[in-house]
Chains A and B, each alone.
Chain A
C-alpha cells in the first residue's frame, strides 16, 4: 500500500498552531507523508495544495469558531475541481451543535480538544480510500 499523504492546514486568521504541529508530527511518526501549509491559508490555497500534492487527506485545524464558514468552502472547492477521493477531517474547538452540520458536509472526523493522536491516526487509516490498484 502506498504511503498516505496528508495536508495539515491552518485556515483563517488564528495563529494557535500547537495542535496542527503536534498532529503533523504524530502522523509523520505513524509513517504518513505530511505537508504542513503554515498559517493563514485560504480555502483556495488549501485545495490547491491538496491537488498539487495528490493528497489523500486534508486535516484542518480551527480554534477560532470560523469552521462554519471555512469547511463548506473547502468542500465546495473540492467538488468544483471534481476531487472526490480526499478525506477531510477537522480538529479544534468545535461546539457539539456544529458537528451535525459538518457531518452533512461529509466531514465525519471531528476531533475536539483532548483527542488522542492515536485516534486520529487510526481514523485516517480506516477512512482513506484505498488507492486504485
Chain B
C-alpha cells in the first residue's frame, strides 16, 4: 500500500487506533458501533415497511423487484452536432443500453440560438446543440421513437423540446398516446442548485403545469417531470438535504397542479424523481427507501390521492459526478460501481453510471461503455437482483431509513413555515443550507477528517494519462451556419404568425403547448420561441449569496 498523507513520516499507514471512536453519516447523523433489535423496536412492519409492492412502498414499488425486469440502463449522452450524438446513441443501443438520455449544450438549456453572443465557446460542448426541429430530426434519425424511451435533461425550455420530440414522433408515424419518455422539467432545483433558469418562478411554474395538463390529455405515457435531487446533491447538499428539498419540491409541484385545476390522480402518476448515488453506501440506500415511504404517505394523506400509481415514487439514479477525482482517475470506476450498487439495492427504476474520465472532460466512447458494463455486471453477475429489497429488516438500514424520514419531515415544516418552496427559494433558504454543507465538506477533506483516496491520502505524484474527448471548434461554426440557412429558407409568414401566437398565449391563461407545437412545425428556432416568452415574462436574476 502506498504510504498516505498520514504516512509521510515513514511510520506509514493508518491503523485502527487512529480511527475516531464515533462515526457520522454525510448528513451528520451519529452512527452506533452496532445495531440491534432495540434500535427498531418502534418499527411497525405493516405501517412502516410492508411487503414490496405494498403501501407505503418502503421496500419497493414492485412485488417482484428486479425479477420481472431489470432497471433501465440509461446512459446520459450528448455532445457536438446532432449527427455525432445520434451515432453515440446508436452505439449505446447496440451495446445493450435500454433507453436514451439526452444531454443538451448550455445554449440549448438557456434557450439561446448558437449564434447568440452568450453562446460563444459553448455550442455543442457540454451536450448536443439543438436549435430547431431540424436538429431534433437529425438527433433521432433511424431511431424508432415508438420502441425506445427517451429522457431529456431540459428544464426552463422543457415544453419546447418536448414539442420538438412530439413532432419528430409524429413524422415517424408514432402515436403520441403510445410513446414514452421523460422531460426533467424541474425548474425549482434550477433556482436552488443548477441555476439554468430563464424566467421568474411564477410563469416558470405555469409552464410546468401546462405540460402536466397537456400530457395528461394527449401524451398519457409521458413522464412530465423528473423532480431532481441530483443537482442539489452535486451542489453540496447532504443526503438528508437532497431527500428533503427534492420531496418538498415534488409537493410544491403537486400543489401548483391542483391549484391550476388538475385532479391529483390525473397528473401525479406521471411524476418521477431523480436522485444521486453518493459514497455513503447505507445512507444512500436508506434515502431511496425513505423517499418512497414519504411520498406515498404525503400523496395519500395530504393530497387525498386514490390512484395507487400516485403513491408510488419512481426514480432514476445517477452516480455522483462530484465524487469523481482528476487524481488517479481509474479509482473512479470503483467509486461508481459501489454507488451503482447502492442505487440497485435501493430499488432504482433506472440508472446512469458515470465514466471514469468525467473529472477531466466529457466521456470517451470507451469510458462510457465501461460505465454501462458496470451496470451489466451488477445485473448479471452479482446476484443482488434475485431477491427484492434484500437488505430490508437490517437493524442499521431500517434505523437510518426512519431517521432520514423524520429529518425530512422536520425540513418540510421549516419550508412550510417560510410559505412554501417558491417562497423559501426567493428567501435563499435552500441555497444557503447547501452552500454551508459544500463548504463544510471541502474543509473536512482538507483537514483529513474525510479521506478521499488519491486526493488527501495514498497520493501519487504522477497522474496516468487518460484519453479525453475533445470537441472540435467546427461544431459551433456548423450549427451557426445551419441556423442562418434555416432562417433564409423557411416560410416567414407562418413563422411570424406562430411566434406571435406564443406571445398571446403567454399573456392569456391558455395552455402554451398548442402554440409551441405550431411554432416548432414552422421551424421557429429555440431562441426565437424563448425570446417570445422573455418578451412577456422577463428574466429571473438571483441575488448571489456566499
Q: Which residues from chain A contact B196 at a C-beta distance below 8 Å? A: 13, 15
Give Cα distance in the complex from A57 to B474, angstroms: 33
Q: Are B359 and A93 in contact (CB under 8 A)?
A: yes
Give Cα distance in the complex from A68 to B236, angstroms: 27
Determine the interface band of chain B, counting residues with CB < 8 A from chain A: 35 or more
Q: Are B438 and A18 in contact (CB under 8 A)?
A: yes
User: B120 an interface residue at 8 Å Cβ cutoff?
Assistant: yes
User: B478 an interface residue at 8 Å Cβ cutoff?
Assistant: no
Q: Are A39 and B120 in contact (CB under 8 A)?
A: no
User: B2 an interface residue at 8 Å Cβ cutoff?
Assistant: no
B438 interface neighbour in A13, A22, A112, Cβ under 8 Å: A22
Q: Are A22 and B359 in contact (CB under 8 A)?
A: no
Q: Are B359 and A36 in contact (CB under 8 A)?
A: no
Q: Are B121 and A36 in contact (CB under 8 A)?
A: no
Q: Are B106 and A12 in contact (CB under 8 A)?
A: yes
User: B97 an interface residue at 8 Å Cβ cutoff?
Assistant: no
Q: Are B326 and A64 in contact (CB under 8 A)?
A: no
Give Cα distance in the complex from A39 to B541, angstroms: 9
A24 interface neighbour in B452, B471, B546, Cβ under 8 Å: B546
Q: B428-472: contact bitstring with A at CB < 8 Å (1 yes, 0 no)?
A: 000000010011001101100000100110000000000010110
- Near A by CB (< 8 A), chain B positions 119-150 give 119-122, 125-126
Interface centre among A15, A22, A37 (most CB of B within 10 A): A15
Q: Are B122 and A22 in contact (CB under 8 A)?
A: no
Interface centre among B120, B235, B327, B471 (most CB of A within 10 A): B120
Q: A49-68: contact bitstring with B at CB < 8 Å (1 yes, 0 no)?
A: 00000000000000011111
Question: B443: shortest Cβ distance to chain A, in Å?
Answer: 8
User: B278 an interface residue at 8 Å Cβ cutoff?
Assistant: no
Q: Are B121 and A12 in contact (CB under 8 A)?
A: yes
Q: A40-B118, A64-B126 are known contacts. Are A21 and B435 too (CB-CB below 8 A)?
A: yes
User: A1 an interface residue at 8 Å Cβ cutoff?
Assistant: no
Q: Chain B contact residues: over half helix, strand or loop, or mixed?
A: loop
Q: Are B120 and A66 in contact (CB under 8 A)?
A: yes
Question: B205: shortest Cβ distance to chain A, in Å?
Answer: 19
User: A34 an interface residue at 8 Å Cβ cutoff?
Assistant: yes
Q: Are B122 and A12 in contact (CB under 8 A)?
A: yes
Q: A61-87: contact bitstring with B at CB < 8 Å (1 yes, 0 no)?
A: 000111111100000000000000000
Which of B88-96, B107-115, B281-289 interfaces with chain A? B107-115
Q: Are B470 and A66 in contact (CB under 8 A)?
A: no
Q: Are A13 and B109 in contact (CB under 8 A)?
A: yes
Q: A38-B544, A113-B325, A116-B446 are known contacts. Are A64 and B122 too (CB-CB below 8 A)?
A: yes
Question: B337: shortest Cβ distance to chain A, in Å?
Answer: 20
User: B532 an interface residue at 8 Å Cβ cutoff?
Assistant: no
- Near A by CB (< 8 A), chain B positions 488-546 give 541-542, 544, 546
Q: Chain A contact residues: over half helix, strand or loop, or mixed?
A: loop
The residue in chain A whose Cβ has the minimal distance to the Cβ of B455 is: A114
- Near B by CB (< 8 A), chain A positions 94-123 give 95-97, 112-114, 116-118
User: A125 an interface residue at 8 Å Cβ cutoff?
Assistant: no
A93 interface neighbour in B120, B197, B235, B360, Cβ under 8 Å: B360
Q: Which residues from chain A contact B109 at a C-beta distance below 8 Å? A: 13
User: B234 an interface residue at 8 Å Cβ cutoff?
Assistant: yes
Give Cα distance in the complex from A72 to B361, angstroms: 20
User: A17 an interface residue at 8 Å Cβ cutoff?
Assistant: yes
Q: Are B326 and A113 in contact (CB under 8 A)?
A: yes
- Near A by CB (< 8 A), chain B positions 65-117 give 106-107, 109-110, 112, 117
User: A14 an interface residue at 8 Å Cβ cutoff?
Assistant: yes
Question: B360: shortest Cβ distance to chain A, in Å?
Answer: 6
The residue in chain A whose Cβ has the minimal distance to the Cβ of B443 is: A117
Give Cα distance in the complex from A70 to B122, angstroms: 10
The residue in chain A whose Cβ has the minimal distance to the Cβ of B324 is: A113
Q: Which residues from chain B contact A127 at a C-beta distance below 8 Å? A: none
Question: A4: shortest Cβ distance to chain B, in Å?
Answer: 17
Give Cα distance in the complex from A36 to B365, angstroms: 37
Q: Are A14 and B361 in contact (CB under 8 A)?
A: no
Q: Which residues from chain A contact B417 at a C-beta distance below 8 Å? A: none
Q: Which residues from chain B contact A21 at a C-beta distance below 8 Å? A: 435, 438-439, 544, 546
Top 8 closest A-B pairs, CB basis? A15-B195, A69-B121, A66-B121, A13-B106, A38-B544, A65-B125, A24-B546, A113-B359
**Chain A residues in the interface with B (C-beta under 8 A):** 12-18, 21-22, 24-26, 28, 34, 36-40, 42, 64-70, 93, 95-97, 112-114, 116-118
17 inter-chain pairs at a CB distance below 8 angstroms, sorted by A residue, are: A12-B121, A13-B106, A13-B122, A16-B195, A18-B236, A18-B438, A36-B546, A39-B195, A64-B125, A65-B125, A95-B468, A112-B326, A113-B324, A114-B325, A114-B326, A114-B452, A117-B446
